[in-house]
Amino acid sequence: MLSTAILIAFALVSAAIGLTLWRLLTGPDTPDRILALDTLYVNAIALLVLLGMHLSSALYFEAAILIAMMGFVGTVALCKYLLRGDIIE
């Protein structure tokens, strides 16, 4: 039962990543694309957590923590660039 639930969750999260990629490619404005990137890294964390449960390995959390930190820094840097035209003033 648990393995079936994990497989269904894999399908749902992969579909979510597909939808996010569609918005990333066709987004009309720059903030739309940055929002799609932001959602993409959160979805990638969900996929990594699911993979860790599927393989019964706790190693994938280090990768999830790294993606969470780097993704946030990337979003902030891109928004700062849009707001001020520069990242570090």
Q: How far apart are CA 20 and CA 14, in angstroms?
A: 10
At its nearest, how many Å lie between another protein and the CB of residue 45?
6
Give the nearest distance from C-beta 3 to another protein in angstroms. 9
Contacts of 49 (CB under 8 A, 6+ apart): 60, 61, 64
- The answer to the question of residue 79 lying near another protein (CB under 8 A) is yes
| Number of shown-chain residues binding another protein (CB under 8 A) | 48
Whether the CA torsion 71, 24, 36, 79 is positive or negative: it is positive
DSSP reduced 3-state for 12: helix
Q: Give the binding site for another protein (CB under 8 A).
A: 1-2, 4-6, 8-9, 12-13, 15-17, 19-20, 22-23, 29-32, 34-36, 38-39, 42-43, 45-46, 49-50, 52-53, 56, 58, 61-62, 64-65, 68-69, 72, 75-76, 79-80, 82-83
